[in-house]
Amino acid sequence: MNKILRLFTVLSCIVLLLTYLAGHIDPRSFWPLAFISLAYVPVLLITFLFLFILTLQRSWFALVPLCCILLGWSNLTNSFSLHKRALMEPKSALADSSAIRVMTYNVHFFNEATQDPENSLGVFSIINRIQPDVACFQEFYSDTRPNKLNSVDSLKRILHTTNFHYVDFSKQGSGMAIFAKYPIVAKGIIPFSEDHDGNQCIYVDLLKNGHTFRIYAVHLESIRLQQYQLNYMSKFIKGKTQKLRPSKKIGGQLRRAFLERAHQVDLVRAHAATSPYPYLICGDFNDPPSSYAFNQMAKGMQSTYKEKGSGLYAVTLHKGFLRYQIDHILTSPGWSVLSHIIVAEKASDHYPVYTDLSLSTSSK
């Protein structure tokens, strides 16, 4: 029995080490490892289970899973937090009156615009309660035609601002947007492709009290899973189907997305390196903290979740059985993170994420 336990412990440790490696190997060089990065959390929990059993047995072999877990400390702190749970509160309650509240939110086209008006109103209600100084939206939608959702006008009223950068990539109302309560002194686009899809990057330079900072809003490559594929994956995981053909197509979509995201991260990082101002990169990365895309984007930056996040395991995507942290906010050096809140309310298939920040005097 002990030999079998040790064998499975070693196997779980090997896979766990591979998940660490996957976060630093470019999928364009070796794409199969990118799939393993998605297994980080379940493999970590299995390894913890073996550690617990071996510890109960007072076996020296417990050091093996313990060392493997500690080797991935960065992954662990990016995915889990032991900070005291923070509650959503008005910005006026913050001790630092100069703080900047930044939100990122994939609003899922406000639930297909008018198809789900109740949840569309829920999205606006959440934004109204958060009252961010800067709001970055992915899968944004706005239409000025009669009986359509003019979300630009709605958000101007809710946020009491006329400062926004909205790019309609589809030419049919859907795209990305940044709204700000500060003057926009410059704005632009980092195009990922010419396909006119929603996976792009936009940015604004904002002026606050005589100091300028930059906000990048990103939406990295989507996997583009259809509902029937999600249903298949759910059945496959539960052992209710053994058909492999659908899984091959899903695997191909994942592979394409891994490769595209690696390229997109390079584009954003190269542009950010030229920024004359302190900056934030926030948005829907479509990848968890264990991924190559996240680790590359976060190099030399700090994750607001890692600094101040609360809740043992962070989830920002809740779609069927999918539960991942894929919406992130990263800061360049010079920012102090005061809070990081995930608002777990299901008005979209993503939860909104916001952070309160202050910029050090030396960085201004």
Query: How far apart, in Å, are the Cα atoms of 132 and each of 136, 144, 292, 338, 357?
Result: 10, 24, 29, 14, 11
Assign domain 91-363 one CATH number from 3.30.1330.10, 3.40.50.620, 3.60.10.10, 3.30.300.130: 3.60.10.10
Query: How far apart, in Å, are the Cα atoms of 152 and each of 17, 18, 110, 114, 163?
Result: 46, 45, 12, 15, 10
198-215 confidence digits (pLDDT tens): 789 999 999 999 999 999
d(CA 331, CA 278) in angstroms, rounded, equals 8
Chain position carrying tokens 């989830």: 315
Res 242: pLDDT = 55
How far the first Cα of the chain sits from its last, in Å, is 62
Burial letters 230-265, b for 16+ CB under 10 A, else e: eebbeebeeeeeeeeebeeebeebbbebbbbbbbbb
pTM > 0.85: yes or no: yes
81-124 confidence digits (pLDDT tens): 877 766 667 766 676 778 999 999 999 988 755 455 455 678 99
**pLDDT beyond 50 at 230:** yes
d(CA 281, CA 294) in angstroms, rounded, equals 11
